[in-house]
Amino acid sequence: MVSFTLDARAGRARAGRLQTPHGLVLTPVFMPVGTAGAVKAVTRDHLAQVGAQIVLANTYHLMLRPGDTVVRDLGGLHEFTGWSGPFLTDSGGFQVWSLTALRRLDEEGVRFKSHLDGSSHLLSPERSVEVQQNLGADVAMAFDECPPWPATKEVVAAATDRTTRWAERCRRAHSRSDQALFGIVQGGVHEDLRRKSASEIAGLDFPGLAIGGVSVGEPKEDRLRVLDWLDPVLPDDKPRYLMGVGTPEDLLDGVARGIDMFDCVLPTRNARNGQLFTRFGRMSLRNARFARDPLPPDPDCPCPTCRSASRAYLRHLHLSGEVTGMVLATVHNLFFYLDMMRRMRQHIVLGRFEEFRRETLGSLQAQAAEGDAS
């Protein structure tokens, strides 16, 4: 029910097709984050307008509220939310990892207290799979242990070994034929651990593989080294998902190193905080220079926001705390990200990706050297 086909290459960059029960996803792809089953500040119609292909939903949050059995009984995520396109659900591992003061980890799983009401829960590999099967996403993720950064190599090695054992348990527990379960590679910033993890997780024959533990505070240079180590090791015929990354520059660098799928809260979170992404750098709506500016955020951008709103109006909405301002900013940022992914794919197919990457990075970096586009 879920398959992946490579259409073109340009160096290490790849253009592919991920076929799911709820539609075709053209890669490389960015997945907007819909933590509670909704992308913050936008509707399903907005997502369609900006060209979203697949949305990420959060296992931890949906398990706690409204509850995975509630979603199951109401037809799964697609019927419950009204989003007819593909969904990917994370395993909940990163969220419980971040609850350091509220959780206890052992071989069985992670025992934690809900951030909502303090109730006690156990999230194990089997329970994570059960929740994701109840949610009914097209792609589910194996439950893993994300080691902190910085950490000793011994700590990272123990987490990496446990991730493999938990991946085996997830594989045994998973039974939905209409849902693909992806494995997750860990190993911190250690080449031998990353290669070992990739070999073990690939050996379990997951239909796709993700690279975890690369958005926990490590330097960007270390993250890029991890991708360089893994590119020749990961199966060539399966989708590769870089979890929790990142900036426009991160996406360009990731695609250049063979990554097919990305997610990050950055475009939506920054929009709500008054920061817009443009082809010429980031724009802060708080800047007083925009108070009387009649231009759209990006005159060359065809998104609904840039076709209808001026910088002055968006600044006014942001400073007034108007929800409309958050909506318009989020629509623009998501369009920027998704359009950049579309253009990356086009240039891979044309065999001109590296030229596109250099030109785009040069534009972004030139603006950064002058200061914010603000």
- What pLDDT score was predicted for residue 1? 85
Per-residue pLDDT of the chain (374 residues), as tens digits, is 899 999 999 999 999 999 999 999 999 999 999 999 999 999 999 999 999 999 999 999 999 999 999 999 999 999 999 999 999 999 988 887 777 767 889 999 999 888 899 999 999 999 999 999 999 999 999 999 999 899 999 999 999 999 999 999 999 999 999 999 999 999 999 999 999 999 999 999 999 999 999 999 999 999 999 999 999 999 999 999 999 999 999 999 999 999 999 999 999 999 999 999 999 899 999 999 999 999 999 999 999 999 999 999 999 999 999 999 999 999 999 999 999 999 999 999 999 999 999 999 999 886 654 455 55
Tokens representing 310? Answer: 């001026």
Tokens representing 372? Answer: 């914010």
**CB-based contacts of 146-150 (< 8 A; 24+ apart in sequence):** 146/93, 146/94, 146/97, 146/186, 146/212, 146/213, 146/216, 147/186, 147/188, 147/213, 147/216, 148/97, 148/216, 149/188, 149/189, 149/213, 149/216, 149/217, 149/218, 150/217
Domains along the chain with CATH numbers: 3-264 (3.20.20.105), 271-368 (no CATH)
Adjacent-strand bridge partners of 241: 210, 261
Handedness of CA 17, 253, 284, 292 (dihedral sign): negative
- What pLDDT score was predicted for residue 368? 56
Inter-residue contact 46 to 290 (CB < 8 Å):
no
CA-wise closest residue to 333 among 254, 264, 261 = 264
112: left (phi over 0), alpha (psi -120 to 50) or beta: beta
Inter-residue contact 117 to 168 (CB < 8 Å):
no
Do you know the residue count of the chain? 374
- What pLDDT score was predicted for residue 96? 74
Q: Count the alpha carbons within 13 Å of 227 in the hemisphere toward its beta carbon.
A: 25
Q: What are phi and psi of 144, to 5 degrees?
A: -130, 170
Separation of alpha carbons 202 and 183, rounded Å:
8
Helix or strand holding residue 303 (H, E): none
DSSP code of residue 18? E
What is the set of active-site residues? Answer: 90, 263
- What pLDDT score was predicted for residue 178? 97
Q: Roughly what angle, to the nearest 10 degrees, separates helices 220-230 and 191-202?
A: 50
Whether residue 150 has a cis bond before it, omega within 30° of 0: yes
CA-wise closest residue to 229 among 183, 195, 261, 202 = 195
- What pLDDT score was predicted for residue 247? 96
Inter-residue contact 141 to 181 (CB < 8 Å):
yes
- What pLDDT score was predicted for residue 116? 92
Helix or strand holding residue 263 (H, E): strand 261-263
